Amino acid sequence: MRTSISILFICLVSIAVTSVSAASLPSAPEDKSQAADRPAFSAEEKARLAAEVKAEFLHSWNAYKKYAWGHDGLRPLSKSPYDWCSEPLLITPLDAMDTMILMGLKEEADSTREFILRTLSFDKDCYVKTFEVTIRLLGGLLSNYQLTGDERLLNLARDLANRLLPAFKSPTGFPYVEVNLKTGAVRGTRTNPGEAGTLIVEFGTLSMLTGDPSYYNYAKNALLNLYERRSDIGLVGEQIDCETGEWTKTDSHITACIDSYYEYLVKGALLFSDEDCSVMWRDAYIALQNYIADSTATGLWYGHADMTTGQRGKTWFGALDAFFPAVLALAGDLKNAADLQESCLKMWQRHGIEPEQFDYVRMEAASPRFFLNPEIVESAYYLYQKTKDPRYLEMGKIFLDSLKTYCRTDAGYAELKSVVTKEKSDRMESYFLAETLKYFYLLFAPDETLDFSKVIFNTEAHPIRRTW
């Protein structure tokens, strides 16, 4: 057994720190890049692009209101709604609400909030994914509570979290994949680091806002237990059983099933000054640089390797993996963040839009679907905030133009079955409004729209302010 980090019961003392500090994270050398050599984007051009994004948000939101109001999401081709369970959980309105606030759509945000508070009850006999509901609904409630001061949102957040807590009652402390919101029954033992390790921003914030440390401790315990089960070379796999604690898939990478576990180590360290998260990130970062990072003739990528042997597996990277430049930038490694973002741009430009999975040796789509993902825009936004290099505004403009060209419909935006053929698929996920368009907007909008240095975004782009 490795040296264990003891579970620190958090001390809910109120400290007068309002900005999020990177002091506790190990940092790599910063690269100031060539920002000074690039032509600046004029304020007018930035304002024009921000207005364009806002118009696209309204186009998509109004389509949701017209064809799917009161439901979880919109099918833009059939102009019909979809729900996650037999009764709607208002996923799209709740996920999209803080984007409206940031875009200055106050009346729309206010009426959406009143509708949610009038309509939404979590007392539903319905199995939900612990991870998805945490990042979209709990994260959305907490950020909207902070943005509006409406205590009813915090009460709803607490009610939801209490209904999710039975998921954590596994022998390992890793949450079951699904939990029934009414009965507390759980199901799904095969979980992964992404789902088990992407909870501390939301549950930790709830602890800080309510004074009840139990939420933080459940999420932290899951992180510590993942760390305990890392391999001798410091990697985690992509599937683990929450009852036995055994790894059931040992492929290691930064894509789906692992991705945001790394993100929340960095964010947990920053948002809560949590030294354990800082240490766990430091060790993870070393292992990632040793075994997952891949410097090739086509650029810097992060591929696959076996968690036990470190042997290189697939040379695949994908749309979801494009969150990693943002994480590297947040953790202080601007050089690798910038290099990886250049690779992401190459992946995007190969087919005119990024695929779900991309073989970076063959430079071809390995899985050609596209789900309107935000990550590549998120990384452009973080890098722009950290460097002010207009290169990232240029990238954002390229991404926005492609999205409008290939995914826009007369009822919102549609996913693609294939980035090669550009055939559309009938779904617009709530994160398109919560994340993709929010990060586009923040990239182009004036810095005063949201002080980047004072918030930590959850993995669904809901900004959390450290008020404790």
Summarize as ranges the residues that interact with ligand DMJ (CB under 6 A): 260, 320, 373-375, 431, 435, 459-460
Length of the chain: 468
Residue number with CB closer to ligand DMJ (54 or 438): 438
> Helix 375-387 to helix 324-331 angle, to the nearest 10 degrees?
30
Residue ranges of alpha helices (H) inside 121-258 are 130-133, 139-148, 151-164, 193-196, 200-210, 214-228
Minimum distance from residue 14 beta carbon to ligand DMJ (Å): 30
453: DSSP letter: G
Cβ atoms of 196 and 226 closer than 8 Å: yes
Catalytic site residue 56?
A: no
For the CB of residue 229, give the shortest distance to ligand DMJ in the complex, in Å.
21
356 assigned to active site:
yes
Which of 132, 212, 283, 394 is an active site residue? 132
State which residue, 373 or 385, has the beta carbon closest to ligand DMJ: 373
Least distance from ligand DMJ to the Cβ atom of residue 163, Å: 20
Cβ of residue 96: shortest distance to ligand DMJ, in angstroms? 13
Question: From the candidates 56, 202, 259, 333, which is the catalytic residue?
Answer: 259
Catalytic pick among 178, 359, 375, 389 = 375
Question: How near is the Cβ of 158 to ligand DMJ at its closest, in Å?
Answer: 22
Nearest residue (CB) to ligand DMJ, 179 versus 320: 320
C-alpha span between 98 and 88 (Å, rounded): 20
Toward ligand DMJ, which CB reaches closer, 130 or 260?
260
Structure tokens at 427: 């779904």
Can you give the C-alpha Rg of the chain in angstroms? 21
Shortest CB 73 distance to ligand DMJ, Å = 12
Nearer to ligand DMJ, 316 or 431 (CB): 431
Handedness of CA 442, 448, 449, 452 (dihedral sign): positive
- Which amino acid makes up residue 467? T
**Residues contacting residue 23 through CB under 8 Å, at least 6 positions apart:** none
Cα 342 from Cα 334, distance rounded (Å): 12
Count of Cβ atoms closer than 10 Å to residue 400 Cβ: 20
375 catalytic per annotation = yes
What counts of helices (H) and strands (E) characterise the chain?
A: 17, 21
Closer residue to ligand DMJ (CB): 41 or 288: 288
- List residues with catalytic annotation: 132, 259, 356, 375
